[in-house]
Structure 1
């Protein structure tokens, strides 16, 4: 990544904001080109000491002359923050990209909150594995985004994981798969640990086995082979695995996932209303 990205504002220094900051620094961005805000002075001081970045509580100061502004706050705060900084962004000689990292808030809603027509806008659905540099960022962009600004913003996001661009109409569906998805795998792993304990394994051993298995299976999936093919390779005829898979299928695992993702997508859409 080019280190010459200009000033980057990160509004909200929680887990997502900090993960973004850490990824940028690891990718070679100069710490003093990042200005992060947080309502807690203690948290701002912690981030400044840990990363050497500029911090404060003034969102307007943070976005002044920034090339990009990442909004890492709760969905209910997104439009309020945009309205707060919008006039400052409008006065910039060069366009400042506004990037929402919150679920549910539509590009139309964001566009309605900015005061400068033509502001490049991005709607991003991240997920928590960005905290370890393995996130997935689903991105939709507004009609005013040019290729240079797209490359800059996507490059920043790529510092903490994989970037997938989709039309905005698919964001809610993507949220249900990748945004909420880590929780499904955590729940499955938790259940597998408990199942191992019920079979007599010490909990720490069951935890190690389940977590390492989940990690290894994920690595195999990223090599490009379909999940079905990988599963078929493990399911020997009349073997232990196929017996277990039959129980999962008869217990309605697939149907539960269909219903779960439908509920997540519906909730994502509700957040934008």
Structure 2
């Protein structure tokens, strides 16, 4: 996911001029552990990105903005490494970890000069068609000693962070309380959508279409419908416009309703949200 964000930002800097109120990054450092990852990044980015494989602290100490993209259970080990808290002082730390709250990460960092931000991008960021939800620390009066560590981001910082993720698709700012649901809907959503895509493809194959043709038809159809919604059409409006009396569409829709497809998909989001909310508590 970090590579997707990195690619989007580098492409944007090469093809367009960022707004004047955006703090433009001028240097990129990628931290990896395996040698194969080192070679892959060097092959992909060349001299545009410095690759660090000898520990995170050195890279963090040289950065102004740090994106934390490890597994949630590794967060405490990485942020608790010797010298990491000192290296993060005065920096912006953006976490893309599912389930880990700003308060939890701020507690690991335990320094009031580090601005902790949460972001939830999704897989389509790889092709700059992603959806990212961003949560900044609350500006309300602190109710605990942990929350009192959080600092309030400036408007320039908010604009710059939003621009950063807009280079991989769309970016939306919400309160942190919505992040678990966003993790389920847009983070896990591509997997749910692909199950639907596979089912549509299988139906086409069952009725005689070659697999490759059926898959292309299904994928383009889903993309087209989604773009119509993003352009302002309501999903029900699109559905009704296709459903003629006694036609094939309404017949197929009734079969879908017999299979309780609406409640099944909605319950999938509910379950994924519940699991996302528990990830922050796992060690």
Query: TM-score surpassing 0.5?
Result: yes
1:50 to 44, 49, 55: 44
Q: Which runs of 5+ in 2 are unaligned?
A: 15-23, 139-150
- Cα distance in 1, alignment partners of residues 42 and 75 from structure 2: 23
Residues matched between the structures, number = 254
- Kindly indicate whether residue 45 of structure 2 is the aligned counterpart of residue 37 of structure 1: no
- Cα distance in 2, alignment partners of residues 107 and 79 from structure 1: 13
Partner of 1:142: 137
Partner of 2:215: 207
1:79 to 76, 79, 84: 76
Partner of 1:6: none
State the 1:78 CA deviation.
2.2
Q: Residue deviations 1:204-251, cap 9 Å, x none?
A: 221121112112112212101111111111111221111111111121
State the 1:65 CA deviation.
3.4
Q: Residue deviations 1:42-73, cap 9 Å, x none?
A: 21232123212101122112112322100121
SS of 1:80's equivalent in the other structure is helix
**Conservation of the 8 A alpha-carbon contact between 2:162 and 2:172:** no
State the 1:161 CA deviation.
1.3
State the 1:79 CA deviation.
2.7
**Conservation of the 8 A alpha-carbon contact between 2:201 and 2:218:** yes
- Cα distance in 1, alignment partners of residues 12 and 229 from structure 2: 26
Partner of 1:63: 60
Tell me which of the two structures has the higher relative contact order, counting C-alpha pairs closer than 8 angstroms and 6 or more residues apart.
Answer: 2
Superposition TM-score, scaled by structure 1 size: 0.88
Matches within 5 A, 1:3-22: 16-22=1-7
Partner of 1:8: none
State the 1:32 CA deviation.
6.7
- Cα distance in 2, alignment partners of residues 87 and 46 from structure 1: 30
Runs (4+) off by over 4 Å: 29-32
- Cα distance in 1, alignment partners of residues 183 and 44 from structure 2: 31
Q: Answer with 57-66 or 242-251: which moved more.
A: 57-66
Superposition TM-score, scaled by structure 2 size: 0.85
**Conservation of the 8 A alpha-carbon contact between 1:25 and 1:31:** no
Q: CA, structure 1 residues 32+119, in 2 after alignment: closer, same or farther (shift >3 Å)?
A: closer
